[in-house]
C-alpha cells in the first residue's frame, strides 16, 4: 500500500511539473491554454453545474421507478387508555383499551402508473437541462481560450512596444552623444545639446509606464490561469500577424457557418424543448393520475411479551386522482407556458440577427485592420529611412536638431502604430473565429 501511494504521489509531482511553468521557463500559448482548461475557476464552476444537472436527471429518472420502504414500530403502554361507557342497568363502566405491548413491522412498495405525462415531462426536462449544461461548459471553454489568447496578445504587444521604445532610447542617446561631440568641435550649441538631452530623458518615463502595464497584464494572466506562484514568467514568441482562415471565404458563407455552429442557437433549441416540457407539465396538473401500492405487515398485541404472536396481513391498492376544480390555476399555467414559447420565438429571431451582425462586424474589422497593418508597415520603412537621412544631413550641417528629434519621434510613433495595428488585426481574427465558433 505504501509503495502504491508513493507511486501515485510521484505521478502527481510529475504532472504538476509538466503543466506549471517553473522559474526561468517561457510560457507558450499552448501551455497557457492547457493550464487554463485545467485550473480556471470559471470552467470549474461550469463543470460543477454539469454535475448538478447530471444528478438532477438521475433524480428525475428515480421518479419512474418503484419506491420501496421498510417500517417498524414497537410500543409499550405503561398506562392503557380508559374509555367510560354508560351501560344501561349498570351505569358508567370504565373499559381499558388496547394492549400493553404492540409491535408492527412490514414492507411497502408504490409505483406510479399514469401521470398524464407529468413524469415523462420531468425526465425530459432534466435531460434537456443536462444537455444544456454540457453546451454551456463548452461555451465557457471557448470564452476561457479567447481570454487567454487575448491576454497573451496584449502582453506580446507590450513586449514589442518596450523593445521599440528601448531602441528609440538608444537612438536618442546616440544622438545626444553625437551632439555633445559636435558642440565640443564647435559645430553645435548648448541649446541643441539641451534639446537632445530632453528628448533622451523623456523616453524613460514612457518606458517605465509600458513595463508597468506589462506587469499588470502578466498579473491578470496569472490570476486567470489560477496559478499560485510568485515566480517571474516570460512568454515565448513575438507579436506577429496571425493567419486568417477565412481569407478565401465569402461573407455569406461565414454567416451560414456561424448559424450552424454558434452555441447560443443550440442552447435556444434546448430551451424550446424545456418550455414544451414545462407546458406539458402544467397541463398534466389538470389530468388524472393513477398509482399502485402494496403492503405486507406483521402485527402483534399482548399484555405480556411472552404472549405476543405475530399475524400477517397483505393488501394491494390502486389510487386514482382526478382534479375537478382548481380555480383556473392549471389553465393559467398552460397560458403562461404558451406565452413563454412565443417569447422564445422572438428571442431566436433576435439571436440570429445578433449573430449575423456580430459576424459582419468581425469580418469587416479584419479587412480594416489588415489595411492598417500594411499602411503602417510602409510608414515604418519611410520613418526609419527619414531618420537615417536626417542624421546624416545633421552631421553635415544640412539639417537642424529639431528635425532630427522630429524624425526620431516619427520613427517611434510609426513603429508603435504598426505594432498596435498588428495587435488589432490579431484581435479581429480571434473575434471572427469566436463569431463562427472556431477557436
- pLDDT, position 25: 64
Q: What is the CATH number of domain 24-65+115-287+326-435?
A: 1.20.1600.10
- pLDDT, position 15: 39
Grid cell listed for 204: 524613460
Q: Average of pLDDT values for 388-410?
A: 87
Pick left, alpha or beta for residue 144 (phi over 0 → left; psi -120 to 50 → alpha; otherwise beta): alpha
Q: Average of pLDDT values for 326-341?
A: 84
CA distance 205 to 224: 29
Question: 398-404 long-range CB contacts below 8 Å, 24 or more apart?
Answer: 401/179, 401/188, 401/192, 401/195, 401/196, 402/195, 404/175, 404/196
What digits encode the pLDDT tens for the residues 112-169? 888 888 888 888 889 999 999 999 999 999 999 999 999 999 999 999 999 999 999 9
The pTM is what?
A: 0.77
Find where cell 412565443 sits. Answer: 342
Q: Average of pLDDT values for 197-226?
A: 90
- Average pLDDT value over all residues in the chain: 86
CA distance 378 to 11: 53
Domain ranges for the chain, please list them: 24-65+115-287+326-435, 81-113+289-322
Residue 419, judged by CB atoms within 10 A of its CB (0-12, 13-18, 19+), counts as buried
- pLDDT, position 230: 66
Question: Which of 162-166, 209-213, 275-279, 418-422 shows the lowest per-residue confidence on average (mean pLDDT)?
Answer: 275-279
Q: What percent of the chain has pLDDT over 70?
A: 93
- pLDDT, position 19: 43
Amino acid at each position: 500500500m505504501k509503495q502504491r501511494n508513493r507511486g501515485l504521489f510521484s505521478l502527481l509531482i510529475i504532472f504538476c511539473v509538466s503543466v506549471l511553468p517553473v522559474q526561468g521557463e517561457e510560457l507558450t500559448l499552448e501551455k497557457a491554454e492547457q493550464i487554463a482548461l485545467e485550473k480556471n475557476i470559471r470552467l470549474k464552476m461550469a463543470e460543477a453545474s454539469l454535475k448538478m444537472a447530471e444528478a438532477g436527471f438521475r433524480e428525475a429518472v428515480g421518479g419512474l421507478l418503484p419506491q420501496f420502504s421498510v417500517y417498524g414500530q414497537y410500543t409499550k403502554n405503561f398506562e392503557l387508555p380508559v374509555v367510560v361507557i354508560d351501560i344501561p342497568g349498570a351505569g358508567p363502566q370504565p373499559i381499558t383499551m388496547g394492549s400493553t405491548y404492540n409491535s408492527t413491522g412490514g414492507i411497502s412498495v408504490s409505483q406510479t402508473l399514469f401521470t398524464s405525462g407529468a413524469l415523462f415531462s420531468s425526465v425530459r426536462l432534466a435531460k434537456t437541462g443536462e444537455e444544456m449544461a454540457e453546451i454551456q461548459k463548452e461555451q465557457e471553454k471557448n470564452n476561457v481560450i479567447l481570454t487567454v489568447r487575448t491576454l497573451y496578445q496584449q502582453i506580446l504587444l507590450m513586449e514589442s512596444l518596450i523593445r521599440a521604445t528601448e531602441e528609440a532610447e538608444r537612438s536618442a542617446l546616440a544622438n545626444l552623444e553625437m551632439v555633445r561631440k559636435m558642440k565640443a568641435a564647435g559645430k553645435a550649441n548648448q541649446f541643441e545639446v539641451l534639446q537632445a538631452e530632453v528628448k533622451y530623458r523623456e523616453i524613460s518615463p514612457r518606458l517605465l509606464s509600458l513595463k508597468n502595464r506589462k506587469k499588470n497584464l502578466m498579473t491578470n494572466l496569472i490570476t486567470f490561469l489560477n496559478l499560485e506562484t510568485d515566480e517571474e514568467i516570460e512568454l515565448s514568441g513575438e507579436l506577429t500577424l496571425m493567419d486568417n482562415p477565412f481569407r478565401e471565404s465569402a461573407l455569406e458563407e461565414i454567416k451560414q457557418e456561424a448559424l450552424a455552429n454558434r452555441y447560443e442557437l443550440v442552447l435556444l433549441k434546448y430551451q424550446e424543448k424545456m418550455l414544451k416540457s414545462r407546458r406539458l407539465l402544467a397541463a398534466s396538473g389538470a389530468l388524472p393520475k393513477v398509482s399502485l401500492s402494496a403492503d405486507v405487515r406483521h402485527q402483534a398485541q399482548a399484555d405480556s411479551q411472552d404472549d405476543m404472536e405475530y399475524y400477517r396481513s397483505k393488501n394491494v391498492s390502486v389510487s386514482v386522482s382526478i382534479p375537478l376544480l382548481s380555480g383556473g390555476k392549471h389553465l393559467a399555467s398552460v397560458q403562461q407556458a404558451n406565452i413563454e414559447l412565443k417569447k422564445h420565438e422572438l428571442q431566436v429571431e433576435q439571436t440570429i440577427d445578433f449573430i449575423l451582425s456580430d459576424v459582419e462586424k468581425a469580418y469587416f474589422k479584419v479587412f480594416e485592420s489588415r489595411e492598417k497593418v500594411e499602411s503602417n508597415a510602409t510608414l515604418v520603412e519611410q520613418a526609419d529611412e527619414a531618420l537615417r537621412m536626417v542624421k546624416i544631413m545633421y552631421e553635415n550641417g544640412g539639417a537642424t536638431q529639431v528635425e532630427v528629434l522630429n524624425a526620431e519621434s516619427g520613427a517611434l510613433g510609426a513603429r508603435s502604430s504598426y505594432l498596435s495595428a498588428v495587435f488589432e488585426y490579431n484581435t479581429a481574427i480571434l473575434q471572427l473565429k469566436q463569431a463562427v465558433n472556431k477557436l
